């Protein structure tokens, strides 16, 4: 098989090898968590009904609509092309205009036609080398074509002539990060953060650089810094996962209504502190934002391996304070429970927390409502 | 659990939600690797894998239990990966790329193993140069041992079209590998 020209059979044998990577260990659990919390909306139910398996495939209306749409697109394309070719001075004027070239390049980039976009962007840069915007997007086009060296050169030139152009510092940071030049990436991200301390990509990637450098204390601090500002979305989720991989369970992900939210559990456990109040205020805001119509209940479960009394006080204290912040209290039932035991996280993880808080919400059905009242 | 995928789907639809975990455990690896080939980013691939299984669960009622589950799931995942690639090109959002080489899992040590690993690495690299659809057709056909008919169903193509894609895909692979070797000999 080491001969240069493999036969089809030899190539097929190589293709049959199972050389795939293992997915992250907690992936299955994360998927099932989403599945467990899933409730299809009316539109999804209707869609499922309409797309249920059936044997009739010929749909004359759909065929007619598709044909009409194709004819319309064909006609529009012909018209545009004819008008454009009948006006050569316009085309010439566009060719001499840096911004026009730039806009055409950006348009082609948006249409995923990177190779066609690049000459326009290069021309725009030639025509106006002082524009940070033009050279920035030229760099982006190089990146899309996998020309990382040219990409970097574009950005370096841009920030040299326009040191305050933050998007380019950010993308230069990405380029360094992707090419393993971590210290330089860090410097670029820091330039962005000096001017815009809450820039999400710079905050997150700064933490990621420390992760790559195995600088765990800085990584931990940087991911916490990201979470101070951003609590929802996939980057927040990943930041929490990175922290937990470092053994830091201070932040946890909670399903609040329809959204997954990262909350600072350590702060919630600090009874009477300003940090706890801020976190409760944030939780109340998430509860207000994420709930749908109807009656809901929030469960607060506190674990404290060493003191059942303390667990109870924490749970009741949280309920009391949360009640002060919630505006529509009549639609929210808060239930509390407490245990003098450690909480075990996930089946696969097995990690035990001696002091922790579990929060989750659920929408109540009418039977629950009767029990409550 | 030895139930077939389709039996499990029937039970999940009857309300046994937790059984879906069996399907996740069976297929998370190929779906994750599919996503990784598109994104070249382990975290993004994990996110897209979650999305694929979640969407599949959401659309489970549209699945025809007379057919095979895996090609259906694979098609959904390929579509999702394609959407991701299109959106990325529109937004140009970038975070980070954590590159990893799939063939690292092959044990090394003896000469023939090293040689095999080298060959597998060449094939893997060449696969990444094919169009995403041709690449995934070859992977579904050979690595995941799906019949031509199942591959055709998964990609919404006719069987003869799939056979043609496979033939051309193999030719392209050979040509890419040939070029690569030629290049290294010149150096």
Per-residue pLDDT at B111: 43
Considering only CB atoms, which chain A residues are within 8 Å of B177? 6
A215: β partners = none
Question: Which residue of chain B has the CA closest to A26?
Answer: B46
Q: Answer for the pair A6, A15: CB distance below 8 angstroms, yes or no.
A: no
Largest CA distance in chain B: 63
Q: What is the mean pLDDT of residues A79-95?
A: 65
Q: What is the signed CA dihedral for A200, A201, A205, A206, rounded to 10 degrees?
A: -50
- Do A1-149 and A163-248 share a fold? yes
Question: How many residues would you count in chain A?
Answer: 373
| CB-based contact, A35 to chain B, within 8 Å | yes
Residue A198, classed as helix, strand or coil, is coil
Domain spans, chain A = 1-149, 163-248, 250-373
Q: Which of A16, A34, A53 has its CB closest to that of B62? A: A53
User: CA of B140 to nearest chain A CA: how many angstroms apart?
Assistant: 10
Nearest CA in chain A to B44: A234
For residue A338, the cross-strand partners are A302
Q: Give the tens place of pLDDT for each residue, B137-163.
A: 999 999 888 899 889 988 888 888 899
Residue A141 CA to residue A148 CA, distance in Å, equals: 10
Size of interface A-B (CB pairs under 8 A): 139
Residues 118-147 of B with CB under 8 A from A: 119-120, 123-124, 138-139, 142-143, 145
Structure tokens at A202: 């710079």
Instruction: Confirm or reject CATH 1.25.40.10 for domain A163-248, answering yes or no.
Output: yes
Of 3.30.750, 1.20.1250, 1.10.8, 3.30.1330, the CATH number of A250-373 is 3.30.1330
- In terms of Cβ atoms closer than 10 Å to its own Cβ (0-12, 13-18, 19+), residue A363 is middle
Summary mean pLDDT of chain A: 82
CA–CA separation, A230 and A200 (whole Å): 8
> What is the C-alpha separation between A310 and A304, in angstroms, rounded?
7
Chain A residue numbers with beta carbons less than 8 Å from the beta carbon of B59 are 48, 51
- What pLDDT score does A272 carry? 85
Report d(CA A80, CA A69) in Å as an integer.
17
pLDDT in tens, chain B (187 residues): 578 898 999 999 888 888 999 999 999 999 999 998 888 777 788 889 999 999 999 899 888 888 889 999 999 999 999 888 777 654 444 443 332 323 323 333 434 455 666 678 788 888 888 888 889 999 999 988 889 988 998 888 888 889 989 988 898 888 887 765 443 322 2
> Which of B17, B43, B181 has its CB closest to that of A4?
B181
Closest CB from B92, B139, B181 relative to A140: B92
Note whether B47 contacts A234, CB cutoff 8 Å: yes
What are the residues whose beta carbons fall under 8 Å from the beta carbon of A291, sequence distance 6 or more?
A257, A258, A331, A332, A361, A363
State whether A34 and B50 contact (CB < 8 Å). Answer: yes
Q: Which of B89, B105, B123 sits opposite A112 (nearest CB)?
A: B89
Q: Which three-class secondary structure state does DSSP give residue A335?
A: strand
- Contacting residues for A153 by C-beta, under 8 A, at least 6 apart: none
**How far is CA A217 from its chain centroid?**
24
Residue B183, both tokens? 């290049």
What's the DSSP call for residue A112? T
pTM of the model: 0.55
ipTM score over 0.90, yes or no: no
Interface contact A174-B181, CB threshold 8 A: no
CA–CA separation, A216 vs A224, rounded Å? 12
- Restricting to A residues 151-210, those with a Cβ less than 8 Å away from any Cβ of B are 171, 174, 177-178, 201, 204-205, 208
- Structure-token match 């939780």, residue found: A283
Under CATH, to which class is A1-149 assigned? mainly alpha
């Amino acid at each position: 098989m080491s001969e240069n020209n493999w036969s089809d059979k030899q190539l097929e044998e190589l293709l049959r090898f199972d050389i795939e990577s293992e997915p992250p260990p907690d992936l299955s659990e994360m998927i099932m968590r989403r599945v467990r919390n899933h409730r299809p909306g009316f539109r999804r139910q209707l869609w499922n009904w309409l797309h249920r398996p059936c044997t009739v495939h010929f749909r004359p209306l759909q065929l007619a609509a598709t044909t009409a749409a194709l004819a319309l697109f064909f006609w529009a394309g012909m018209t545009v092309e004819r008008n454009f070719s009948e006006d050569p001075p316009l085309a010439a004027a566009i060719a001499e205009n840096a911004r026009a070239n730039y806009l055409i390049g950006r348009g082609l980039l948006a249409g995923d036609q990177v190779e066609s976009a690049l000459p326009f962007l290069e021309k725009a840069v030639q025509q106006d080398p002082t524009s940070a915007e033009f050279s920035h997007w030229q760099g982006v086009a190089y990146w899309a074509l996998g020309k990382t060296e040219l990409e970097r050169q574009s950005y370096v030139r841009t920030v040299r002539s326009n040191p305050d152009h933050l998007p380019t510092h950010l993308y230069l940071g990405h380029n360094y990060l992707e090419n393993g030049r971590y210290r330089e990436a860090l410097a670029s991200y820091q330039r962005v953060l000096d001017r815009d301390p809450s820039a999400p990509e710079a905050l997150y990637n700064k933490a990621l650089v420390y992760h790559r450098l195995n600088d765990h204390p800085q990584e931990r601090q940087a991911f916490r810094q990201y979470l101070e500002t951003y609590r929802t979305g996939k980057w927040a989720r990943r930041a929490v996962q990175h922290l937990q991989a470092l053994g830091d369970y201070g932040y946890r992900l909670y399903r609040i209504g329809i959204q997954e939210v990262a909350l600072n559990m350590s702060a919630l456990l600090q009874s009477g502190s300003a940090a706890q109040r801020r976190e409760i205020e944030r939780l109340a805001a998430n509860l207000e934002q994420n709930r749908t119509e109807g009656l809901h209940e929030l469960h607060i479960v506190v674990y404290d391996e060493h003191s059942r009394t303390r667990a109870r006080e924490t749970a009741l204290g949280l309920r009391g304070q949360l009640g002060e912040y919630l505006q529509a209290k009549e639609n929210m039932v808060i239930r509390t429970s407490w245990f003098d035991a450690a909480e075990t996280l996930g089946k696969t993880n097995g990690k035990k927390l001696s002091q922790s808080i579990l929060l989750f919400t659920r929408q109540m059905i009418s039977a629950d409502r009767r029990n409550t009242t | 659990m030895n139930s077939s995928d389709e039996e499990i789907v029937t039970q999940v639809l009857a309300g046994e939600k937790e059984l879906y975990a069996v399907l996740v455990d069976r297929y998370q690896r190929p779906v994750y690797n599919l996503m990784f080939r598109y994104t070249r980013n382990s975290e993004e691939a994990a996110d897209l894998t979650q999305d694929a299984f979640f969407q599949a669960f959401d659309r489970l009622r549209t699945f025809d239990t007379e057919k095979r589950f895996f090609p259906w799931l694979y098609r959904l995942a390929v579509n999702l990966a394609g959407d991701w690639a299109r959106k990325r090109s529109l937004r140009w959002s970038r975070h980070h790329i954590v590159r990893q080489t799939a063939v690292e899992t092959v044990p090394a040590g003896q000469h023939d193993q090293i040689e095999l690993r080298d060959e597998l690495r060449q094939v893997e690299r060449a696969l990444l140069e094919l169009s995403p659809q041709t690449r995934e057709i070859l992977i579904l056909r050979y690595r995941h041992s799906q019949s031509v008919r199942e591959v055709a169903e998964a990609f919404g193509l006719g069987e003869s079209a799939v056979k043609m894609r496979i033939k051309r895909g193999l030719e392209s692979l050979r040509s890419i590998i040939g070029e690569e070797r030629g290049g290294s000999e010149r150096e």
